[in-house]
């Protein structure tokens, strides 16, 4: 197709400039109209939400004032005290079972040649002290390794006095538990 334009170059340039100006005005006009419509729709919604928030706050304050005068707060305090006591009982029950499981785990990990005589468990501080007698040093070391491998034990500390003797060792081990 042949593109033949008989206008002088300057007139062609002015025509392109006028077309550009008209396009800017056209898009500017519609953009400002959209902004104006948005403002018309958004401003009432904003003011409505502000008024609604103030109404909700007034209702909440009125309800709080009525609760103070009705004596429901004393009942609520009694319920909270009872709830705390119940939580404490449930926690103690759960601790008792986990402590029993922990102690049975200690006895089950004792190898042949190790007799556990006493387990002193302090669940609040998450510490335990195990005392007993081992026939030989190797059995005691296997017991310490078995305790270290337990999922309920964080760390095991064995004093040097536990491994000085070769046989008939009276030992005491300190544990950090995960109870």
Distance CA 59, CA 53 (A): 10
Rounded to 5 degrees, φ, ψ at 45 are -65, -40
Strands, E, within 14-143: which ranges?
114-122, 127-136
- pLDDT at 86 (0 to 100): 87
- pLDDT at 35 (0 to 100): 94
Given a contact cutoff of 8 angstroms between Cβ atoms, the answer to whether 143 and 134 are in contact is: yes
pLDDT tens track for 110-158: 999 999 999 998 877 888 999 999 999 999 999 999 999 888 888 999 8
Lowest mean pLDDT among 2-16, 26-40, 50-64, 66-80: 66-80
pLDDT tens track for 51-110: 999 999 999 988 887 766 666 667 778 888 888 888 888 877 666 556 777 888 888 889
Distance CA 71, CA 145 (A): 61
Using CB atoms within 10 A of its CB, is residue 108 exposed (0-12), middle (13-18) or buried (19+)?
exposed
């Amino acid at each position: 197709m042949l593109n033949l334009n008989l206008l002088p170059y300057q007139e062609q340039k002015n025509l392109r400039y006028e077309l550009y100006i008209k396009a800017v005005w056209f898009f500017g006009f519609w953009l400002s109209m959209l902004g104006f419509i948005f403002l018309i729709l958004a401003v009432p919604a904003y003011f409505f939400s502000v008024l609604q928030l103030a109404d909700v706050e007034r209702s909440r304050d009125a309800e709080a004032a009525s609760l103070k005068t009705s004596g429901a707060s004393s009942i609520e305090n009694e319920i909270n005290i009872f709830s705390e006591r119940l939580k404490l009982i449930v926690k103690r029950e759960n601790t008792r079972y986990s402590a029993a499981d922990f102690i049975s785990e200690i006895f089950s990990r004792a190898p042949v040649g190790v007799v556990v005589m006493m387990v002193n468990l302090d669940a609040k501080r998450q510490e335990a002290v195990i005392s007993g007698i081992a026939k030989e040093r190797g059995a005691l070391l296997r017991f310490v390794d078995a305790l270290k491998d337990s999922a309920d034990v964080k760390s095991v500390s064995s004093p040097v006095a536990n491994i000085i003797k070769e046989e008939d060792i009276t030992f005491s081990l300190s544990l950090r538990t995960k109870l």
